[in-house]
Structure 1
């Protein structure tokens, strides 16, 4: 496995990049105002929406329905989605503002090995195409756009992209679209990603793009040495 030894350097780099961007835009840094452990007044558990943590049952609809339900609390202090111990297989799902996604210590979110569970998105405007193929790209496992006040955290729970099948497709030239990231947040502000293990991303692992006030801390990012392009943290352009 690689990158666990270099994760401190990666975190220092991303911290310096975002601090520099914030200083240039605002004349000071607001990272100290981000509160990764802030308690939300409303909380639900993924099992309340029919999720089964057996590593086999596909739970995409459960994640989507839980987050849709929590949207009604966005203007009431925000909400929390708790993922307990278990292996929770899912396709891509989209976050909302004023949300905490909280993983238990022995919780594992598993990315589906069926590419149809990862929707197709347009390329980023600044790229004009998929990163590795012309045209469009697969959406990340955990995705958000135009959000504020988002926390992805846990008691060192795990988000596992099960990327080996994607790496095989890539090597064998069987892909029509650019591979997905594990986490991508676009056009968002006041984001905290902390206290988790990320592993086996199909492509880049954490990709905040067109974002500001982003704090990534206390994460472990793992992938085999042979895995292609499984970068740890790739901060994109800042708007």
Structure 2
């Protein structure tokens, strides 16, 4: 792994940097980059097991759970393909087995039941901790050599499970939803599909397995415990290819503690108002390729996780060695996301040639005090974004926390943050290389918000053009470098805001002519802020320095 990291840093530094897949099926590519670990794809015999031969009926009325089970069981004995022909196949949960390729033909729609009683409660994992949830529509545990392929569609009947916030619908949609059944909370702000689901929403830590608790203890809030749609745990050699997966109750594709994952040409679609409907959550997984996918969901798009807080640190398994490329993300909370459950760490992730359209955030790296974990060696080359509601590029170590309380802040500065002692729960972000990024329309171009006790460290952003209301906000950062970056901020001043940050290099920064203020530096911990090769005369004022900042902290030079 040491050789892998050194080699990839060299690749990033070179002008010819290009990501290549490394699968056993592509020996030439693997030979070209020998230090990359191979991603081993599964292989199957041609033996085919048609679900019709096991009693399946494509009438949309017959529950085909048993037919799927029999076909998968028979296929697993020999290895081969379980064939789902064209048609509408109603079913309960599907459980995969070793050496099975579940192949859904074009025109096949696997419709999962909307009867919640068809799904039982099980012990599993939810948002990085041990929990009880309903079993997933598709699942596999401790398996090897498995695949889901074909151009068919899986529908998770998510509307039967999900709560909906009134604020996310127009009045007509809300009234129609209320009239359809279900219950509305006392505030009249959220609709729940059942009274049991509403009860779960008012329960402390619903579904979390605590000492003395077992599955039966959660029966009275069963409907609230929405399943992830495709759950694979502790599996190896996985191929997910060509299918559409939609209308998930919660997370859509969730490999946990898996190895050798190939995800190719998959479409994931969920309603934009669907809470927790992430497209892809790679959690504590290693070695994989995600390519040519399309994700349009109600939560994060491509998301990297590794467990939450103490349980995640105890597991101690980072998500590592993934290539993610040529993928589009629409309407999600984030395009490419790490966290916030990243307590086991994340490293050696390479993102290229991706497009984010209408997401809340583009590149979204989030954590919080208490998580712990190290996120490092993250490389991004080639991301294009439009209509980003929040930040184009975000490093936030205050995810899901209250806004920092101002401590001895100056009137015109962003709030300062109170330091806390270092400990095992202190998270770390370091060694990110981001290049060739464009964004047309965002609230903020770049936001770096670290902790005073643990800055966001060693971030390089190069060759970027970002059009946004605000330019750069850097708070509690160290070793932050922007080179050949255009920040066309439209509404606020300054273009560049730096607070309590050290070793900041701003090299060849372009901005809209006539800006009121180019750079503001505040905070008594700010040091070594360099503005290099930048035309300061296009701004009405070049630099503003806070009362606690020595003038020598900021240097302006031309090379």
Work out whether the TM-score is over 0.5.
Answer: yes
Q: What is aligned with 2:247?
A: 200
Judge conservation of contact 1:85–1:106 (CA < 8 Å) in 2.
yes
For 1:171 and 1:98, the matched residues in 2 are separated by 42
CA radius of gyration, larger in:
2
In the alignment, structure 1 residue 235 sits paired with structure 2 residue 257: no
Q: What is aligned with 2:347?
A: none
Q: What is aligned with 2:160?
A: 165
For 2:80 and 2:271, the matched residues in 1 are separated by 35
Judge conservation of contact 2:44–2:100 (CA < 8 Å) in 1.
no
Q: CA deviation at 1:71?
A: 2.5
Q: What is aligned with 1:30?
A: 38
Q: CA deviation at 1:171?
A: 4.3
Q: Which has the higher helix share?
A: 1
Q: What is aligned with 2:129?
A: 127
Q: CA deviation at 1:39?
A: 5.1
Q: What is aligned with 2:77?
A: 72
In the alignment, structure 1 residue 152 sits paired with structure 2 residue 148: yes
Q: What is aligned with 1:10?
A: none
Q: CA RMSD in A?
A: 2.1
Q: What is aligned with 2:402?
A: none
For 1:184 and 1:42, the matched residues in 2 are separated by 25
Q: CA deviation at 1:123?
A: 3.0
Q: What is aligned with 1:182?
A: 229
Q: What is aligned with 2:261?
A: 214
**Which structure carries more relative contact order (alpha carbon 8 Å, separation 6+)?**
1
Q: What is aligned with 1:59?
A: 64
Q: CA deviation at 1:166?
A: 0.6
For 1:148 and 1:123, the matched residues in 2 are separated by 19
- Of 136, 147, 153, the residue aligned with 1:140 is 136
Judge conservation of contact 1:181–1:204 (CA < 8 Å) in 2.
yes
Which TM-score applies when normalising by structure 1? 0.78
| Structure 1 gap segments, 5+ residues each | 1-15, 20-26, 130-135
| Structure 2 gap segments, 5+ residues each | 1-18, 23-34, 164-181, 183-189, 198-220, 286-316, 318-559
Q: CA deviation at 1:29?
A: 2.1
For 2:191 and 2:266, the matched residues in 1 are separated by 28
How many residues align? The count is 201
For 1:194 and 1:232, the matched residues in 2 are separated by 15
Which TM-score applies when normalising by structure 2? 0.34
Judge conservation of contact 1:92–1:119 (CA < 8 Å) in 2.
no
Matches within 5 A, 1:84-123: 84-123=85-124
For 1:96 and 1:188, the matched residues in 2 are separated by 10
Q: CA deviation at 1:99?
A: 0.8
SS of the residue 1:140 aligns to: coil
SS of the residue 2:76 aligns to: helix
SS of the residue 2:281 aligns to: coil
Judge conservation of contact 2:102–2:147 (CA < 8 Å) in 1.
yes
For 1:159 and 1:94, the matched residues in 2 are separated by 14
For 1:174 and 1:58, the matched residues in 2 are separated by 25
Closer/same/farther in 2, CA of residues 201 and 142 from structure 1, 3 Å limit: same
Q: CA deviation at 1:174?
A: 2.8
For 1:98 and 1:142, the matched residues in 2 are separated by 16
For 1:217 and 1:90, the matched residues in 2 are separated by 25
Q: CA deviation at 1:56?
A: 1.5
Per-residue displacement from partner, 1:179-232 (whole Å, max 9, x unpaired)?
A: 112211100010011101111001111000010111111011111111121110
Per-residue displacement from partner, 1:57-82 (whole Å, max 9, x unpaired)?
A: 10001101111222221xxxx21100
Judge conservation of contact 2:121–2:134 (CA < 8 Å) in 1.
yes
Per-residue displacement from partner, 1:32-61 (whole Å, max 9, x unpaired)?
A: x315xx552311111001101111110001
